[in-house]
Amino acid sequence: MGDAILRAEALRAFYALDIYGKTKIIQAVNDVDLEIRENEVYGIAGESGCGKSTLLKALAAAIEPPLRLMGGKVVYRVNGAEIDVATLSQEEKRRLRMTYIAYVPQGSMSVLNPVMRIRDTYRDFIESHLDVRQKGEAFALAREHLVELGLPPKILDAYPHQLSGGMRQRVTIALATLLKPRIIIGDEPTTALDVVVQRGVVQLLRDVQSRLKNTIVLVTHDMGVHANIADRIGIMYAGKIVEEASAERIFGAPTHPYTRYLIDSLPRFGDKTPRESVPGSPPSLANPPSGCPFHPRCPHAMEICKREMPGFTRVAPDHRVACWLVGEGSYGKAA
């Protein structure tokens, strides 16, 4: 694992919605500090509506209204130089996209044009990013890439609806990795898939990562997938990262009460002991609880939890937790 390639500093991204003249602010990403390194798979876990997809949008420099960057910054390190994403022009962002940072979305059906053969989608893609004059050249490039990934090149002649869901998703991944990006961002890339197919897709992602030695940022709520692919995992709750550690420590020594619930509630084969889910309901990001956002559901909540958000405490090398139970630090600084 190498140096930081992608950094978020005190990142805040809110949705500002205008409803009948009243502005409603949704604090989707609230004060997130992240450091994602070269050659690692970084997993982001959390329940729906915790802001993980918004965080990805901010990291991919795809902030568009109604989403607004309210503070902090996202820094890319491109060829040794640090770039603040907010200072880039549209054209510069477009050039970085797919060559430096690529995006794999959840629903592959909405990515591939249903009336175009896969081949034409590839050609479109190659022509807009590479300087390719000949039709045949782009085609050869696509074919070569598919073979490299172990996918049958005959799918280039197929329409999206003729492929199975898993094959479509793998085509999307192939498309995203065509230009050998340094960072691949995946937003629930396996969620809509069956388990066997999911395994095939995770296999492909892991394969690509070990070949390109690049970085994958993977968002999914499926802890099983995280256990299978992630090197480090950040647990997100109500727009904030509450715990971050290596996969081994997240599963072996979860420290934040929310993470503990999340891990303990996972059903396991060969073990039928009763499991409890987290009490209460997820908070609304339009009106998050004061202090630590988990305090209304936390069985260990203390007075201070209701007033102040705890800072990160380093409980082990590479393992930080934001919880008053493990001591104090100043929030926002990795202590």
By the rule CB under 8 A, 114 interacts with another protein: no
The only residue of 270, 299, 317, 330 in contact with another protein, by rule CB under 8 A: 270
Length of the chain in residues, anyone?
335
State how far the Cα of 1 lies from the Cα of 39, in Å rounded to an integer: 5
Q: Does 120 bind another protein (CB under 8 A)?
A: no
251 touches another protein (CB under 8 A): yes
20 is a contact residue toward another protein (CB under 8 A):
no
Give whichever of 179 and 263 is closer to another protein, judged by the CB atom.
263
**Binding flag, residue 277, another protein (CB under 8 A):** yes
299 binds another protein (CB under 8 A): no
The yes or no reply on residue 166 touching another protein (CB under 8 A) is yes
State how far the alpha carbon of 314 is from the alpha carbons of 193, 228, 251, 290, 318, in Å: 36, 25, 17, 23, 7
Q: Which residue has the tokens 């629903």?
A: 107
Q: Judge contact between 323 and 255, C-beta under 8 A.
A: yes
Instruction: Report how many residues bind another protein under the rule CB under 8 A.
Output: 49
Integer Cα distance of 46 and 191 in angstroms: 14
**Segment interacting with another protein (CB under 8 A) among 8-16, 17-25, 209-217, 273-281:** 273-281
| DSSP H or E stretch at residue 52 | helix 52-59
Q: Are 322 and 312 in contact (CB under 8 A)?
A: yes
195-214 residues in contact with another protein (CB under 8 A) are 195-200, 202-203
Instruction: Give the bridge partners for 60, in sequence order.
Output: none
Binding mask 56-95 for another protein (x = CB under 8 A): ----------------------------------------
Cα–Cα–Cα angle for 47, 50, 53, rounded to 5 degrees: 95
User: How large is the C-alpha radius of gyration of the chain?
Assistant: 21
The three-class DSSP label of residue 270 is coil
Binding mask 168-197 for another protein (x = CB under 8 A): --------------------------xxxx
Using CB under 8 A, list all residues that contact another protein. Answer: 47-48, 152, 155, 162-167, 194-200, 202-203, 221-225, 227-230, 247-248, 251, 258, 261-263, 265-270, 272, 274-278, 281-282
